[in-house]
Amino acid sequence: MTVGPGHDADVAALPPEARAAATAGVNGWTAHGLPEAGVGELTLLDGPLGLVSRTMDERDTATLLPSGTSLAASWDPDLVHRVGGLLGAEARAEGVDVVLGPNLNLPRTPFSGRAFEMFSEDPHLTSVLGAAWIRGLQEHGVGACAKHLVANDTETRRQAMDVAVDEADLREVYLAPFEAAVEAGAWSVLTAYNRVRGEHCCENSALLRVLKDEWGFDGVVVSDWFATRDTVASARAGLDLEMPGGPRFFGPALAGAVRAGDVDDARLTDAAERVARLAERVGRRAGFSAPPAPAPLAPAERVELLRAAAAAGTVLLHDDGGLLPLRTGAGRTLAVLGPDAVVPCLQGGTFAKVTPATRPTTPAQALVDAFPGAEVAVAPGCAPPGLQPFAEVVLEGFAPGAEEPGATQVRPTSTFVWFGEIPGIGGPGVGGRVRVSTEFTAEVEGTHELLLGGTGNGVLLLDGEPRATWAAPDPADVMGVVARADTVATGVALTAGQRVRVVGEFDLVPGRVQSVTLGYRAPAPAGLLYDAVALAARADDVVLVLGDDRNASRESADRTTTHLPAEQLRLLHAVAAANPRTVVVLDAGHQVDTSWAGEVGAVLVPWYAGEEFGPALAEVLRGDREPGGRLPLTFARSDADYPGHGVGLDDDLVLDYRRIEPAGAAHFQAGGPVPAYAFGHGLGYTTWRLGAVQAERDGDDVLVHAEVENTGGRAGDDVVQVYGRAPGATRSRLVGFARVHAPAGAKVGATIRLSHRAFRRWDSTAGRWAVPGGTHVLTVARSAADPQALELEVER
């Protein structure tokens, strides 16, 4: 059977009802398939950072990978390819056919709640690394699902907001990574929740024509979960698969639309053929097998890859006087401080949460292990903010009308989400009742906040007495409530050692998804700040790990500032005053305000570095590994300096990109604000000098040759970056890069191939791509603001 549009006679011959069944899901993560044509069910699972549980069950484990931003900071396509392969091997072993990733949206600002999933503010860097991730994953016979097409880079009102964007910006910036994904052979693409120019992406025929007709995409277009709104409009536009199941707008509804003449029969055949083609590629169709896959990594190889990736993505922003790597040896004292040193943030609070198979080693413990001859003292300095789940609860599910639970489970968390089966109840659409109960012992005296939320009507009981109630949310915002984990709080005064019984009772309202949230916030123990500062004052060196908590980055909510929380800033200033030999480690998935950087000796940004974050950080600080990252995002001097600061949704829920462009590094050029740390910046543990550069034509391509010299005292990596400026333009953009390695004192050459796409621009008047004639300026540099950059001129 030929794999290609319009050649599947077995599918085309089936009645509309059979073909339409293939366009809908069965449940939360399973697509129906087409058994009449030998096409089995397909499992699509969330997870740019790792495989999410099919049942959203925290007891299901998987490898937690470095985030998109962490991988992008490596500027290393080969490394990203290997990480994609690690995920692909794990997915294939677990029977997963499609992984929903990579996230190819661009974080225009650091305020996006989901910025950590994305690669970079730059479309070229995102394109190259996204393509590498896709190839690595699909080598294992598992399909990538590039998401979210398109301009889904803000979470505020994401299901209703409308993006107004010029055609040139849409083509050159926001669609570019998806075009690269298609060229890399992505087997599916996920449409976004938002609207673009007034039309929801599922129904946006202009977008899907670009994808399918202009780019020749022959894979499956999948809706984001519950994003489909209209049968006829979505089918006509080019949507192929509605997820999740059961079917609402596709399946039987689509068959009915075809029989009524509202949707062409050929369009239904095309959608079903695309699903069949995907099944062939992943080996879920009779007579087809997935391609032979590379051998999976051995456990030790897996750990080495994760640590190498974490270190390669760690950016050394600032190192005053060569504080790093830290000196080792008997008799030295090291203070390891900060809330994220003892409770690191490894991922955002989206649906795509991953539970590692083994509890990750914290930075504090990793540093104790890494400096065996030193005296290492640990203190958090301040309490983690936000909701904390209870460590062990009893979960009971009651079917509608039942007096006794149909299921009772002991669970290691108190926050739950169900797209499918609810223990003891059934699917999310039947209602029922859930009880979550725990015995809680207060560790400190003071007012504790107890928190309650979810999709049903809830009551919080403390020792049997009602203390708070929660009303079921508006059905239109259920997904937002689930994603944000919205709660109501009540305060209760407890003494240290006091034991209380906390119960959440929830009457579920039938719907597409259900959630239950129960948690607490404890008062900070007295003396946390004092103890940390005292340790800092006595130590030779301080490692202060600050940044995000489990609630900092999440779906359906954007942040309002890049500043560290107030209690963390108080800790930072006090520790820096006590000991200037302080290394601040920013455990964050986005840019952070660094106006305090001059107070400390060094600043490291490892992002969300995956389950091996702690050991990798310790190896970087000890000097076993170099912090090899370069910024994939610009760090501004203030929040007001970021592109689009203060530009939000208007009264019609329109976000006007035309008031924001240019975004990314270009915003900081040609009279724009001076950044704190430029795009592409990163120091590492050695020094570099850019030598001779030249350009030569190779057919339609241009080859840029650059000599780089390692002028430092140890081997290391550098990233040679090429920026292009078209004739008459005032701003340049990244068009190529190469990561190089050199021993101490050695010179190495880098050759960067630029295709015609490095020079093309979208001609909005003609409605096509064109290469402007004249002199194009190529800048070879080590960052977007490198004062030692060298320029070349190329005639086109």
Read off the CATH number of the domain in which 342 is found.
Answer: 3.40.50.1700
Cα–Cα distance list, 285 to 34, 275, 288, 598, 666 (Å): 9, 10, 6, 60, 47
DSSP string, 408-456: EEEES-SEEEESSPBTTTBSTTS--EEEEEEEEE-SSSEEEEEEEEESS
Start-to-end C-alpha separation, the chain: 45
**Within a domain: residue 372?**
yes
Residue at a domain's end among 282, 304, 326: 282
Domain end marker among 521, 543, 570: 521
Q: Identify the weakest region by mean pLDDT among 374-378, 444-448, 585-589, 667-671.
A: 667-671
* Residue 657 is assigned to a structural domain of this protein: no
Quick check: 328 pLDDT over 90?
no
| Nearest one of 594, 602, 763, 719 to 122, comparing CA atoms | 719
Higher pLDDT, 585 or 552: 585
Q: Looking at the DSSP assignment, which residues form a beta bridge with residue 691?
A: none
Average pLDDT, the chain: 95
Burial 284-316 (b: 16+ CB within 10 A, else e): bbeebebeebeebbeeeebeebbbbbbbbbbbb
76 located within any domain: yes
Burial (CB count <10 Å: 0-12, 13-18, 19+), residue 64: buried
Q: Which residues are within 8 A (CB) of 360 and not within 5 positions of it... i.e. 6 or more apart?
A: 64, 344, 346, 611, 612, 613, 614
CA atoms within a 13 Å half-sphere pointing along the CA-CB vector of 574: 19
Residues 363 and 428 in one domain: no
Any domain includes 310: no
Same domain as 745, residue 696: yes
Residue 471 covered by a domain: yes
Sheet holding 654-656, edge to edge: 199-200, 195-196, 162-164, 654-656
Contact status, residue 721 vs residue 780, Cβ threshold 8 Å: yes
Residues annotated catalytic, as ranges: 224
Kindly state whether residues 534 and 513 are assigned to the same domain: no
Other CB atoms within 10 Å distance of the CB of residue 480: 19
pLDDT band at 589 (very low <50, low <70, confident <90, very high): very high
* 336 phi, psi to nearest 5 deg: -110, 110
| Tally: H helices and E strands in the chain | 18, 36
How high is the pLDDT of residue 49? 95
Question: Residues of 96-121 as b/e, b for ≥16 C-beta within 10 angstroms?
Answer: bbbbbbbbbbbbbbbbbbbbbbbbbb
Average pLDDT over residues 281-285: 97
Residues 74 and 201 in one domain: yes
pLDDT above 70: residue 6: no
Contacts of 285 (CB under 8 A, 6+ apart): 37, 38, 39, 40, 276, 279
Identify whether residues 89 and 205 lie together within a single domain: yes
765 CB contacts (<8 Å, ≥6 apart)? none
Residue 55: which of 78, 77, 80, 28 has the closest Cα? 28
In terms of domains, do 274 and 405 share one? Answer: no
Whole-model pTM: value is 0.96
* Structural domain boundaries, residue 55: 9-282
Q: Are strands 143-149 and 188-191 parallel, antiparallel or unpaired?
A: parallel
Do 104 and 191 share a structural domain?
yes
Same domain assignment for residues 268 and 137:
yes
Q: Are residues 118 and 147 in the same domain?
A: yes
Phi, psi of 717 (to 5 degrees): -115, 150
CATH code for position 769: 2.60.40.10
Which is nearest to 148 in space by CA: 116, 103, 107?
Answer: 103
> In whole angstroms, how large is the CA radius of gyration of the chain?
27
Q: Residue 32 contacts by C-beta under 8 Å, 6 or more apart in sequence?
A: 21, 22, 23, 24, 25, 26, 41, 245, 247, 251
| DSSP string computed for 96-161 | --EEE--B----SSTT-TTGGGS--SSHHHHHHHHHHHHHHHHTTT-EEEEEEETT----TTTTT-
Digit-coded pLDDT (tens) for 696-744: 999 999 999 999 999 999 999 999 999 999 999 999 999 999 999 999 9
pLDDT category of residue 1 using cuts at 50, 70 and 90: very low
**Backbone conformation region of residue 680, classed left if phi is above 0, alpha if psi is from -120 to 50, else beta:** left
For the cut 70, the answer to whether the pLDDT of residue 304 exceeds it is: yes
Q: For residue 83, give the amino acid letter.
A: V
Asked if residue 665 belongs to a domain, the reply is: no
Number of domains in the chain: 4
Instruction: Indicate whether 194 and 76 sit together in one domain.
Output: yes
pLDDT exceeding 90 applies to what percent of the chain? Answer: 86
| Adjacent-strand bridge partners of 315 | 605
Residues 436 and 363 in one domain: no
d(C-alpha 365, C-alpha 343), whole Å: 11
Q: How confident is the model at residue 3 (pLDDT cuts 50, 70, 90)?
A: very low
Residue 631 lies in a domain: no
- In sequence order, the β-bridge partners of residue 537 are none
Write the CA distances from 543 to 327, 433, 575, 617, integer angstroms. Answer: 13, 47, 10, 11
DSSP assignment letter at 620: H
The answer, yes or no, to whether the previous bond of 252 is cis (omega within 30 of 0) is no
Exposure string for 719-745, b = 16+ CB within 10 A, e = fewer: bbbbbbbbeeeebbbbbbbbbbebeee
Backbone angles phi, psi at 687, to 5 degrees: -120, 155
Asked if residue 244 has a cis previous peptide bond (ω within 30° of 0), the answer is yes
Same domain, 580 and 712: no
- Give the CATH number for residue 41: 3.20.20.300
Q: Which pair of tokens denotes residue 402?
A: 């039942």
pLDDT above 70 covers a percentage of the chain that reads: 99
Pairing mode of beta strands 654-656, 602-605: unpaired
CATH number, residue 417? 2.60.120.1560
Give residue for tokens 């007012």: 447
* Residue 470: HSE in the Cβ half-sphere, 13 Å Cα cutoff: 31
Tokens representing 210 are 């670009």
Q: List, for residues 119-174, the tens digit of each pLDDT value.
A: 999 999 999 999 999 999 999 999 999 999 999 998 888 889 999 999 999 999 99
* pLDDT digit string, tens, across residues 223-235: 999 999 999 999 9
Q: Which of 602, 624, 646 is the C-terminal boundary of a domain?
A: 624
Residue 333 belongs to a domain: yes
Element (H, E) at 396: strand 393-398
The answer, yes or no, to whether residue 476 has pLDDT greater than 90, is no
